[in-house]
Amino acid sequence: MSPAEYEVLTAWIDATFASENGVSRRVAKVVVLDTTDSDDDRLLRDDNGQLITWEKMAATLCKKDPALQKGTLDPFRRANIHQALLRRFLYPSIDYALVTSSQLDPIFCKHCGFWPEFYKLFPGSQGILTVSGIGISPDGDQAFFYVSNVCEGLCGRGDYVVMEKQNGAWVIQNVIAMWVS
C-alpha cells in the first residue's frame, strides 16, 4: 500500500473508532487483518449466487453515490487485483494491532476458543477488521475502499467507503452498506 492509502485508512479508523480528541469511544484497540481483501467472492454475486460483473457493481455503486468518480473506481479495481500485505504504517489516535490469519487460525478452529479466546488476547477490541486496497482518484481528492468487520455473535458488517480530501484532511463522504449480520 502507498503512503496515501495509509493516510486514508488512518483517517477512516480515527473517524470510525476514536473521538475528535483521540479518546476511545467504545473501542480500546482496533484489530486489523494484515492482508487486504475486497470480498469480491461475496459481493460480486447476486441473491441467487450467480456471478455479476464488476461493471454492473460499479454502476450500482455510482447510483448509490452519484459523486463517486470512475477515476476513483478504476484505481480501486487495480489495487485489488492481488492481495497486499499491510505494514505498521498506520498512525491512528487509537491503538491498533495487525494480525495474520495464522495467528487467528488456532483461535477459530473447530473445538477452539473462538470469540471468548479472541477477546482475551485483544480485550476492548472491535473484532477483526479487514480492508481492501484503496483506490484514489487521479487528482488525489477522492478515495474508495471496502471494509468489513466481524465480531462475536451476530455482529458484523461490510461497507464500501467514499472519502474526500477537504482542506488537506480526509473525511468520510459516504458509507455504502453491503451486508450486516
- Helix 54-64 / helix 70-79 crossing angle, nearest 10 deg: 130
User: For residue 34, which amino acid is it?
Assistant: D
Task: Report pLDDT for 57.
Answer: 92
Q: How many residues does the chain have?
A: 181
The 3-class secondary structure across 18-46, one letter per residue, is ECCCCCECCCCEEEEECECCCCHHHHCEC
- Give the mean pLDDT of 75-101: 94
For 21-63, write each residue's pLDDT tens digit. 444 457 889 999 999 999 888 888 888 888 888 999 999 999 9
Is pLDDT at 176 greater than 90 in this prediction? yes
89-93, 144-148, 152-156, 160-164: range with lowest mean pLDDT: 152-156
Q: What is the pLDDT of residue 22?
A: 45
Number of domains within the chain: 1
> 94, 17 in Cβ contact below 8 A?
yes
Q: Quick check: 140 and 161 in contact, CB under 8 A?
A: no
Residue closest to 152 by CA, chosen among 105, 120, 111, 110: 120
Domain of 96, in residue numbers: 3-180
Q: Which 3 state secondary structure label does DSSP give 45?
A: strand
